[in-house]
Amino acid sequence: MFARRECLAGTAIASIALIFAVAAPAAAGTTVEATYAATLAGFPVGAGDLTFSTTETGDWRADVAAQVKGLAQIVANRQATATASGHAAARTLTSKDYDLKIDGGAEPNHVDMSFAGTNVKSVEATELHYPGWDRRVPLLAEHKKGVIDPLGAFVVPLAAGQDPMDKANCDRTARVFDGRVRYDLRMTYGTRMEVQGKRGGYAGPALVCAVAYRPIAGYRPLSPEEERFERNLEFSIWFVPVGDARMMIPYKVVVGTPFGLLQVYAHAFRIKGETTAATQTTPPETTGSIPAHA
């Protein structure tokens, strides 16, 4: 189960990099510098920085650096960097490159990928030695086709004039390949939240999508007990409209773990030298609720 949890944690890390990517491709070239915070069962466990940039032609690039904080450092003093680039047009998002480096644990975790359209062109990944890793479901060539990188999976392009809070915006499946595991992130409508930002933070509606993680290949099969746990795992993404409302990005990500809820939320970001969200040291207040995804 450790390897599967590592994959789920990876999706949370991926979402961090796009939480503050608030520049829609329709805008002129834009650079966003952001910070984020992560808590586990209410305790600080992580922090990081992000630089996200877009061009007039719709190319995008994200650079993120994160590290474990607080008491979590006693268990795992790890640092992670990730970069990704690609192109966005209309309601289609494609990947170009993806690079991940996680160091400080028992063994390094490095991934380097390039894409040609929606297909993986090349991939290099360090060999891992998780328990049962040798019993993985075989990864075939077909599993590297029609996919996107883990960062791009958390951006939802919208059609011109489409209501960002439309329930249909949650009805999507991201086909993801992270360098070792091919999985789907199937999203369905959960609820609508009203975020009450503090000290200049985001205030407004958020479309909450329940997320189901479905491994396809490259993963270690779970025991019946582990399967039951993951079927009832809470995993949700809070999407908010950005700019001209032609893109939805995650404002907050919530993932259930055996140790409590892992929450990644907006901390601060700066666009073109103008601070648009002041530092917020506690999670935003919200109204409404979403049940655990069954």
Max mean pLDDT range (14-28, 166-180, 187-201, 278-292): 166-180
Structure tokens at 243: 């700019």
Comparing CA positions, the residue from 177, 186, 228, 242 lying closest to residue 209 is: 186
pLDDT tier, 136 (very low <50, low <70, confident <90, very high otherwise): confident
Q: Which residues are within 8 A (CB) of 247 and not within 5 positions of it... i.e. 6 or more apart?
A: 24, 25, 88, 155, 156, 157, 158, 241
On the 0-12 / 13-18 / 19+ scale of CB atoms within 10 A, 282 is exposed
H or E segment to which residue 38 belongs: strand 30-40
Comparing CA positions, the residue from 163, 160, 164, 183 lying closest to residue 173 is: 183
CA distance 255 to 234: 6
- Read off the amino acid at residue 163: D
pLDDT tier, 243 (very low <50, low <70, confident <90, very high otherwise): low
Summarize pLDDT for 89-131 with one digit per residue, the tens: 777 889 999 999 988 767 788 999 999 999 999 999 998 777 6
Name the least confident of 20-29, 138-147, 277-286.
20-29
pTM of the model: 0.80
Q: What is the pLDDT of residue 14?
A: 52
**What share of the chain has pLDDT > 90, as a percent?**
28
Q: Is the pLDDT assigned to residue 46 strictly greater than 90?
A: no
Name the least confident of 75-79, 103-107, 168-172, 229-233.
75-79
Report helix, strand or coil for 168. helix
The residue whose two tokens read 């192109």 is 87
Summarize pLDDT for 181-220 with one digit per residue, the tens: 999 999 999 999 987 766 545 677 899 999 998 899 998 8
One-character DSSP codes across 68-83: E-TTHHHH---EEEEE
pLDDT tier, 138 (very low <50, low <70, confident <90, very high otherwise): very high
Q: What is the pLDDT of residue 19?
A: 46
